[in-house]
Amino acid sequence: MKKILVIEDDQLIRDNILKLLELENFDVVGVEDGYEGILLAKEQIPDLILCDVMMPNINGYEVLTQLRCNPATETIPFIFITALADKANLRQGMELGADDYLFKPFMSDELLKAITTRLAKQASVQRQAEQKMESLRCKIIRSHYSNYSLHFSDSQS
């Protein structure tokens, strides 16, 4: 079951998102501010983060910046949910490393599609990394046995 962290200061929006995602069989946790979100992301390492941009104390941009600076959280897919629908805000978020943007109000199918797309992309990247690791592991083993057989044949002479 994929875990999703929802960072949203508006309780009604947060509760609606949490209920929707629970119905879709996601393991969800929600917090009301960026500070709590950063702490929880570092502690629980969710599979995806949904985050509002405009929040008191620590805004969504600061949340994303801090999470991208931490090796444990830097690759977690991150989707902004925001009422800030202008090009400058979109650009700022993308330059910080956001994976997607949803503009409020959004439909539940838009949210689910964005989540599904990001999780699929993350799974693909992870599979590629695992394949590269396996390939490297095989090359190391072949190299080791190749060197071993050379040493063994040399000692037989």
Q: Which residues of the chain have pLDDT under 50?
A: none
Give residue 126's pLDDT. 81
pTM assigned to the model: 0.83
**Cα–Cα distance for residue pair 13/29, rounded to 1 Å:** 13
Q: What is the pLDDT of residue 68?
A: 96
Check residue 83 and give its pLDDT.
Answer: 86
Neighbours of 6 (CB within 10 A): 26
Catalogue all structural domains in the chain, each as residue range(s) with its CATH number: 3-130 (3.40.50.2300)
What's the confidence (pLDDT) of residue 43?
Answer: 97
CA quadruple 81, 55, 5, 75: dihedral positive or negative? positive
> CA 37 to CA 71: how far, in whole Å?
16
Q: How far apart are CA 155 and CA 146, in angstroms?
A: 14
Q: So what's the pLDDT on residue 87?
A: 83
